[in-house]
Amino acid sequence: MTTEGFVASHAKGAEFERGLRSFYEYRDLGIKKATGGRVDAHVIRAAAGQEFSSQAHLHKTDFQLVYILKGWIEFEYEGQGIVRLEAGSCVHQPPGIRHRELGHSADIEMLEVVLPAGFATEEVPSVSQ
């Protein structure tokens, strides 16, 4: 039996920090450290008072899943068009899919799980190119 890599994260007293997008705050769930960077998981929420902007981009990942905990968000995905996700919705974003966010509610909260933890993001001219 091993306990290496065990982690438990609780909402009470949790801290959110600015991250990849300035209009979001991210709560690290400890998965990146527990897995030695193989997997990352965090809760993302809208940062109060920050103006939203979005550029078409892609992520160099092996796996990416987004589950909406609260509120709504809309994306435009390459080959899929506009997809609106609401509380309880889940999306798997295949590696390298071009996408851009179109907007989100002020109360948006989502869980993101991504492999590897140190993935790169690349801006692209548009979703359709």
Task: Please state the CATH superfamily assignment of the domain spanning residues 32-123 in this structure.
Answer: Jelly Rolls (2.60.120.10)
Q: How many alpha carbons lie under 13 Å from residue 24 in its C-beta half-sphere?
A: 22
How do the domains of the chain map onto residue ranges? 32-123
Sign of CA dihedral 12, 14, 8, 112: positive
pLDDT, position 42:
94
Measured distance CA(22)–CA(9) in Å, rounded: 24
Q: Which of 23-27, 50-54, 114-118 has the highest mean pLDDT?
A: 114-118
User: Does the model's pTM come out above 0.85?
Assistant: yes
pLDDT tens-digit profile of 40-52? 999 999 988 767 7
Which percentage of the chain shows pLDDT scores above 90? 70
Separation of alpha carbons 36 and 117, rounded Å: 9
pLDDT of 2 above 90: no
pLDDT interval class at 115 (50, 70, 90)? very high
For residue 31, the surrounding DSSP H or E stretch is helix 31-34
**Parallel, antiparallel, or unpaired: how do β-strands 72-77 and 63-70 relate?**
unpaired
Tokens 């209009």 — which residue?
Answer: 23
pLDDT number for residue 8: 87
